[in-house]
Amino acid sequence: MNHPVTVLVVEDEGAISNLLGAILDAQTYRVLFASTGAEALSMAASHTPDIILLDLGLPDMDGMDVLIQLRKWFESPILVVSARQKEQEKVAALDAGANDYITKPFGNRELLARIRTALRQYERTCSSRYQKEQEFSVGDLRINFAKREVRVGDRQVHLTPIEYRIVVLLARNAGMVLTHEHILKEIWGPFSSDSQLLRVNMANIRRKIEPNPADPRYILTEVGVGYRMVDSEPAGGN
């Protein structure tokens, strides 16, 4: 399953934000913007970007605090893009979980190269983490983790990035009941408690993968608790 790489730009200076947007848009990245720390945390939780470009000088809170909060749950790359040039500040950001530190002013090619490198490294980390588990299958449903591909029979299923993450989370825990709270935390982060958002995404997933969404075979509902991906072909739905 292919989708445009989503980049969250956290920057309060309009000129720099516009410059970053233009550079990234020219490379067909999907770009989101946040101008405060609180907005960055909220957007990271709701949009689950593939990579974050984080300025440290934000109007409402220090970018280091944003980085520390994000690293409690956000696993994708975070690149600090800052005018702070002291070595101890760079070391502190990297120790807090930043994947890289880019000093302003920066060259366009350098920025794009750093982004590509961070994304490649993260992809390799994810691949090695699950190298012994390349595919999940039950009935006609097949999930190829390496290719990020979902199929039902011979039909490729096109999921949104968030829908795909939900399916993978359930598949990697097949047979186990995952609570609504656990799924919300894993997919949208600790700042989300919107169970309606989960229900909407689950309805869309079932519409795409289930022969009969009203009587699901693969993702079963544990009423009042959560959801469970079956680990063997079920005799009936739930």
Q: Are 60 and 48 spatial neighbours (Cβ–Cβ below 8 Å)?
A: no
Calpha distance 75→51 (Å, rounded): 9
Cα-based distances in Å from 100 to 60, 86, 119, 144, 190: 23, 15, 11, 30, 24
Q: pLDDT at position 130, please?
A: 54
Q: pLDDT at position 235, please?
A: 47
Percent of the chain's residues with pLDDT above 90 = 53
Give just the sign of the alpha carbon dihedral 115, 125, 95, 181.
positive
Instruction: Please report the domains of the chain, with CATH numbers, ordered by start residue.
Output: 6-129 (3.40.50.2300), 135-229 (1.10.10.10)
Q: pLDDT at position 238, please?
A: 44
Q: pLDDT at position 206, please?
A: 96
> Sorting pLDDT into bands at 50, 70 and 90, what band is 236?
very low
Inform me whether the pLDDT recorded for 2 exceeds 70: no
The residue to which tokens 């509902």 are assigned: 221
Q: Which residue has the higher pLDDT, 60 or 235?
A: 60
The per-residue pLDDT for range 156-172, each reduced to its tens digit, is: 999 988 899 999 999 98
> Sorting pLDDT into bands at 50, 70 and 90, what band is 87?
confident
Sequence-distant (6+) residues with CB within 8 A of 57 are: 12, 63, 82, 83, 84
Tell if the pTM clears 0.85, that is, is over it: no
Inform me whether the pLDDT recorded for 122 exceeds 90: no
List the end-to-end C-alpha distance of the chain, in Å, as a whole number: 27
Inform me whether the pLDDT recorded for 131 exceeds 60: no
Mean pLDDT across 46-62: 93
Cα-based distances in Å from 163 to 24, 107, 120, 160, 238: 24, 35, 22, 5, 20
> Three-class SS of residue 56?
coil
